[in-house]
Amino acid sequence: MASLSSIGIALFSVVLVVPFAHRFKPDKWYAQGFSVLVLAFLASSLAAFAIRSFVFQPFSIPASSMVPTLEVGDYLFASKFAYGYSRHSVPFGLLPIEGRTFDTAPAPGDIAVFRRPSDPSTDYIKRIVGLPGDKIQMIDGINDHAVKLEETGSYSSDEIRSPKVQRETLQNGVSYSVLDVIDGSTGDNTQPVVVPAGRYFMLGDNRDSSADSRFDMGTIPYENLVGKGVRLFWNSRGVDYSSRHTLDGLTGK
């Protein structure tokens, strides 16, 4: 997908440059070539900005809060149009709109990139487990219905040793693997929370190593969603991602 994106940007740049190239007629051949290069650079920068802001944006995973779904060193594409657009869709908040436009509601189990209201310059990535109006409690599950959990094995990496990997299945049928490293940790038992209107409850799949909506992060406003994680395309540490490349919440089902 990365190579296709590069080809697309290059073609788009050519389309932008060619109609205007004939207007630049410097005396020297090298000056003419320089003018075309400048135009090509500006066009490719504009194309890259547009694709990054409105179509797909790459993100890297620096921490382990979403293990085993997302490993440290993973690179993924997030769909910028999946939830529509807000001022957080464009770098530096350059899109002058309130709320969201062309919006589509997220689904439980989506992996979402977002920004905290208290830290709008940093991108976070977690899984959406609670929609507006849902009652969430880590003991009883969602809306007084226990979330189905099935032990599927163990997990081991250079940083984490987990004796328990569980397959978690939400009420809409979306399932995914989560880690339970420490029994009875702080986040395993919480008070019930009703998700406010226009907000979402986020959890990391590595439940004992994730600062999420169970703690001071709180619920996340709809307009703070940046995009939906859709596909892995690389891991900088050489970790295999062939069985995890699509992020549809059904991996390994």
For the stretch 191-233, pLDDT in tens is: 999 999 999 999 999 999 999 999 999 999 999 999 999 999 9
What is the predicted pLDDT for the residue at 150? 93
Residue 181 structure tokens: 């490293």
pLDDT at 127 over 70: yes
Task: Place 7 in a pLDDT band, splitting at 50, 70 and 90.
Answer: very low
What is the predicted pLDDT for the residue at 163? 79
**Which residues carry out catalysis?**
65, 126
CA 64 – CA 208 distance, rounded (Å): 10
- Whether the Cβ atoms of residue 85 and residue 101 lie closer than 8 Å to each other: yes
Residue 48 structure tokens: 């890259």
Return the amino acid letter for 100.
Answer: R
Mean pLDDT of the chain: 85
**Residue 246 is inside which H or E element, if any?**
none
- Whether the Cβ atoms of residue 95 and residue 226 lie closer than 8 Å to each other: no
Q: How many angstroms from the chain centroid is the CA of residue 29?
A: 46
Contacts of 159 (CB under 8 A, 6+ apart): 64, 72
Indicate the angle between helix axes 2-21 and 29-54, nearest 10 degrees: 130
What is the predicted pLDDT for the residue at 249? 60
What is the predicted pLDDT for the residue at 196? 98
- Whether the Cβ atoms of residue 91 and residue 51 lie closer than 8 Å to each other: no
- Whether the Cβ atoms of residue 205 and residue 177 lie closer than 8 Å to each other: yes
CA 35 – CA 32 distance, rounded (Å): 5
Q: Where are the beta strands (DSSP E) in 25-147?
A: 56-60, 74-79, 111-116, 119-130, 135-137, 141-142
Domain ranges of the chain: 2-54, 57-235
Window from 6-10, 34-38, 81-85, 131-135 with minimum mean pLDDT: 6-10
CA 108 – CA 222 distance, rounded (Å): 14
What is the predicted pLDDT for the residue at 4? 42
Using a pLDDT cut of 90, give the percent of the chain over it: 57
Order across the sheet with 141-142: list the strands. Answer: 141-142, 135-137, 193-194
Kindly write down the DSSP assignment for every residue of 41-65, as one continuous string: HHHHHHHHHHHHHHTEEEEE--SST
pLDDT at 9 over 90: no
Is the domain spanning 57-235 CATH 2.10.109.10? The answer is yes
pLDDT at 68 over 50: yes
When comparing pLDDT for 251 and 54, which is higher? 54
Task: Place 19 in a pLDDT band, splitting at 50, 70 and 90.
Answer: low
- Whether the Cβ atoms of residue 66 and residue 111 lie closer than 8 Å to each other: yes
What is the predicted pLDDT for the residue at 50? 86
Range among 26-40, 95-109, 172-186, 203-217 with highest mean pLDDT value: 203-217
Mean pLDDT score, 6-24: 50
In degrees and rounded to multiples of 5, residue 173 shows phi and psi of: 90, -10
Task: Place 1 in a pLDDT band, splitting at 50, 70 and 90.
Answer: very low
What is the predicted pLDDT for the residue at 80? 96
What is the predicted pLDDT for the residue at 185? 85
Contacts of 187 (CB under 8 A, 6+ apart): 138, 207, 208, 210, 212, 214, 215
